[in-house]
Amino acid sequence: MKQQPHRCITRDEITTAVDRMEAIAAQLRRDQATNITRLTILKRLCEDSIAAARFGLYLANRVQAKTAKKYRPLVREGLKQLKAHVAQSRKVASESLRTTLHALEESQNEVRHQRWANVRIIRSHEALLAEYALCIAARPWESAFWGYCMAAYYIERYDSRYGTGLIPASLPALEDIIRFWSRYAGRLRKGKPSRTAKSAPPLPPRKRVARSGTRL
């Protein structure tokens, strides 16, 4: 895949997205549901791979304590590597981070062959969320895609009354996302882009990680 230049988001862009998410939150508070695709507004924000990596670290930290014992060492190591990546505003992931990502992918690599699709079996949602967060750092040219996948996985819920999507039970998770981006916008000067990543040579793309319950 062709390497894309790093794009820096502005506070105005974040504010616009936050306003739209606040409108979704108001709808959920009225006991209404909506489609998960309304979160595609996050794709534009996550085109900024540095901001997206910080977002990934934030969400992965939110669920770390719930991780099953079997996956805790990998998730802990992944967050350690991601924290170092974010602290140095790296544009290219370290070898250690990419090694940990591969280990997370392999820890949940069971696939069942269904009639219409091959389905990846996920036993730890927290480990998968950490995996998505590391994908953002390891594949910055796909940060918009992985940032959206991570947010959708974090927030999507099911209830027989509403089906699957953004439902009233999604509200606390949506508020977490709004909180992160509101704080991130507060760090930026009005109309000014976020900090540019340190330059480094691009890495070749790797095979995408399929989401749970999707075709491989």
192 within a domain of the structure (yes/no)? no
pLDDT > 90? residue 14: yes
3 within a domain of the structure (yes/no)? no
Contact at 8 Å (CB) between 92 and 74?
no
210 within a domain of the structure (yes/no)? no
pLDDT given for residue 211 in this prediction: 46
Residues whose CB falls within 8 Å of the CB of residue 152, separated by 6 or more in sequence, listed in order: 36, 39
85 within a domain of the structure (yes/no)? yes
Residues whose CB falls within 8 Å of the CB of residue 154, separated by 6 or more in sequence, listed in order: 59, 62, 63, 129, 173, 176, 177
Confidence of residue 198 (pLDDT cuts 50, 70, 90): very low
211 within a domain of the structure (yes/no)? no
pLDDT given for residue 93 in this prediction: 87
pLDDT per residue as tens digits for the range 133-145: 999 999 999 999 9
59 within a domain of the structure (yes/no)? yes
Task: Extract the runs of DSSP E, i.e. beta strands, from 132-201.
Answer: 157-159, 163-165
Q: State how many domains the chain has.
A: 1
215 within a domain of the structure (yes/no)? no
pLDDT > 70? residue 213: no
Domain that holds residue 166: 11-187
203 within a domain of the structure (yes/no)? no
Contact at 8 Å (CB) between 97 and 74?
no
pLDDT per residue as tens digits for the range 104-116: 999 999 999 888 8
